[in-house]
Amino acid sequence: MKVLVINCGSSSLKYQLVNPESGEVFAKGLCERIGIEGSKLEYEVVAKDFEKKLEVPMPTHKEALELVISHLTDKEIGVIASVNEVDAIGHRVVHGGEEFAKSVLLNEEVLKAIEANNDLAPLHNPANLMGIRTCMELMPGKKNVGVFDTAFHQTMPAEAFMYALPYEDYKELKVRKYGFHGTSHLFVSETMREIMGNPAHSKIIVCHLGNGASISAVKDGKSIDTSMGLTPLQGLMMGTRCGDIDPAAVLFVKNKRNLTDEEMDARMNKKSGILGLFGKSSDCRDLEMAATAGDERAVLAEKVFIYKIKSYIGAYAAAMGGVDAICFTGGIGENSANVREKTLEGLEFLGVELDKEINSVRKKGNVKLSTENSKVLVYKIPTNEELVIARDTYKLAK
């Protein structure tokens, strides 16, 4: 079985050809700057350590996908003889609203229902839908499956997902917390549960820390709360997103600075977070280097970043009545020993004891970072959203 996993952004297309049973990745890559000058394709054959990059015009996602297919089926550098070998196609869809609590086989009716959520994710959902329609056009007859970023969090109870706005804003406008990064929180918490021996009861906190960052409370395998909200702007401080602020600050800054709605939106989504406080970069590596060198704003940005994560860990331990395991994932969570150590500093009262030596050594795969005496397990677990998409696709399409 071979599943093609597609993650379409407004100007990008990420792809992986995966065996959903073994997890083997045959080929993967990325098309960037679609519809913009300087479009680029990256193509990698994992088993052969073969990598190719080329710049070639891709006016639309159709040309991008054609290029991906021609590489996958190329006589010399391809991994399949023809698209007949692709058994099904799995798509990442960002917003499933309240309709989709699970992955779903895609047809015209389902696409319309996804389209109805476009308002809730105007940057992401239309791009995801375009990817789906392009695949249906270029590879007719294949089963396509939609896997939603929001689905895993649909188990949140009302007290976690409701905002205390007038009730009609929920009923009529669907304004509530949805949560994102669901496939990652699912993958990491399930991996953690397996490591724990699949106990009937478990209280797991997953810290997904990348450019986008979110944290979730997973009780007995179900998400009961998560930090992102109606959109991926709520919650932790991120690379360029502000995360939680007083909602009144939005109107205050907008009015004082005479900004349009779009400018204010961009200020919060693209100019805030690490970039906003540090001022020089949104990248955590740059931040850490500058903080080590004594840059005051870098030190401040790092402190705020860590404080937010720590506060959520405290909140979620309280929400679950304790915590058995804390997992770190995402580019920062998997790679930054500094962020992990500083986040867990002072959490000894919860029963957390980090093995600082193991934490500071770079090791691939799932790594236990807590000491033998620690009451709370601490793990680094590399996320694998594509594998979740491939597995769900396989289950629904076979």
Q: Which residues bind ligand ADP (CB under 6 A)?
A: 210-212, 239, 283-285, 288, 330-332, 335-336
Q: Which residue lies nearer to ligand ADP by CB, 302 or 324?
A: 302
Residue 359 C-beta: closest distance to ligand ADP, Å: 13
Decide if 276 contacts 237 (C-beta within 8 A): no
CB of 70 to ligand ADP, least distance (A): 27
Q: How far apart are CA 151 and CA 100, in angstroms?
A: 6
Q: Measured from the CB of residue 81, what is the shortest distance to ligand ADP in angstroms?
A: 33
| Catalytic site residue from 49, 87, 119, 149 | 149
304: which 2 tokens? Answer: 């705020």
State the minimum distance, in angstroms, from the CB of residue 271 to ligand ADP.
16
Contacts of 15 (CB under 8 A, 6+ apart): 4, 5, 6, 7, 28, 29, 30, 31, 68
What are the Cα distances from residue 254, in Å, to 212, 229, 235, 251? Answer: 24, 21, 20, 5
Closer CB to ligand ADP, 212 or 235, in the complex = 212
Q: Which two tokens stand for residue 393?
A: 């696709």
Give the ranges where the chain is alpha helix by DSSP (H).
61-72, 108-115, 125-138, 158-161, 167-173, 182-195, 247-256, 261-270, 273-278, 284-292, 296-320, 330-335, 337-344, 356-360, 385-397
List the one residue out of 68, 35, 33, 75 whose CA is nearest residue 52. Answer: 68
Per the annotation, the verdict on 261 as an active-site residue is: no
Q: Which is nearer to ligand ADP, 145 or 207 (CB)?
A: 207
> ∠ CA 126-132-137 to the nearest 5 degrees?
125
Nearest CB to ligand ADP, comparing residues 317 and 388: 388
Residue nearest to ligand ADP (CB): 331
Cα gap 277→293, rounded to integer Å? 16
Whichever of 102 and 285 has its CB closer to ligand ADP, that residue is: 285
Q: How far is the CB of 108 from ligand ADP (least distance, A)?
A: 31
- Report, in angstroms and rounded to the nearest whole number, the Rg of the chain calculated over CA atoms: 21
Nearer of residues 131 and 210 to ligand ADP, judged by Cβ: 210
Which sign does the torsion angle of CA 302, 305, 307, 310 carry?
A: negative
From the CB of 227, what's the least distance to ligand ADP, in Å?
A: 14
Contacts of 330 (CB under 8 A, 6+ apart): 184, 207, 208, 209, 210, 213, 383
Name the phi and psi angles at 220, rounded to 5. Answer: 50, 40
Q: Which residues are catalytic?
A: 149
